[in-house]
Amino acid sequence: MAMAASVTDDLESELLRSYLTLEAIDTNIFRASSVNLWHPVAGRFVYGGQVIGQALIAACRTVREEQHVHSLHCYFLIGGNAKKNILYHVDRTRDGSTYSSRAIKATQDSVPIFTMQASFKLEESDPLKHQYVMPVVPGPEELVESYDFLQSQLENEETTKEHRDFIKRILEKKMHIERRAVDPHLYHGLTQGEPRRYIWVKASGHIGPDIKLQQCIAGFMCDMLLLGAALQPAVPGTKVGYMASLDHSMWFHNPFRADEWMLYEIECPQCGSGKALCTGRMWRQDGVLAVSMAQEGVVRSAL
């Protein structure tokens, strides 16, 4: 797996050297330095998408070059401490002629914080196939970038001081991911609506043709936007006490480029008892379904 060889000097240098970089310290053990761990502005723990992406990179380094992940299933056991290194232990569960399985465990101070089961396969050609039709929404060129929208809210006289301070913290801690929501007011919690959202997403800059790297970056991107759909039916201004991922699954259907716009379709069919289930699909601009995902997470209101 020649991920580093496909890296150019713009975007992916930052993504790999920071968010997704790993050091091999043994045949099946990889280390993520605390220097590169990131946590969201409103979060206390390491960003879950970063752990997903790093765990998948570790697993990818142990399979044949021609095999690519087709599904993964994760559990977040406890929140990761952004001030401590993470070790990723890969168990080469099975290597078959078509499929290979890997079990990945992430630890801090020898304590498990995350587990992943990932399955890899060779590409196959089969005439039996179908898919849903991609939703019809405005294209990314018609929509405003998320950070630009937040900047406009800073300049809005109706924005409260509390919200203004929160926006400033977000803008000071930008990620290398571009987002353009079909309804930015709903996406940013300024209006109330159905628990469904459509967001165009892509990694900033040029990444390169490495399929495994594209998949790892998709794992990194998708976690940040899922659970938020559970809050959309709530009255704007509702205080959230705690949000965190419990589990996360992804299914990779077709090749894609994470540095090209994809439509992220997300819905939350159920929220209650302090948790929510959210599902998502990532569509290429040509209408091909690239990735499906599902996640359950803790969603608690502030008492």
Catalytic residue numbers?
223, 245, 295
Which residues lie closer than 8 Å to 265 by C-beta, 6 or more apart? Answer: 135, 196, 197, 198, 280, 281, 282, 283
Q: Where are the alpha helices (DSSP H) in the chain?
A: 11-14, 48-60, 146-154, 161-171, 184-187, 211-226
CB atoms within 10 A of CB 200: 24
Closest CA to 56 of 88, 34, 78: 88
Strands, E, within 41-131: which ranges? 68-76, 86-95, 99-108, 111-121
Q: Are strands 289-301 and 240-252 parallel, antiparallel or unpaired?
A: antiparallel
In terms of C-beta density within 10 A (0-12 exposed, 13-18 middle, 19 or more buried), how is residue 42 classed?
Answer: exposed
- The token duo for 22 is 């790993």
Helices (H) and strands (E) in the chain, counts: 6, 12
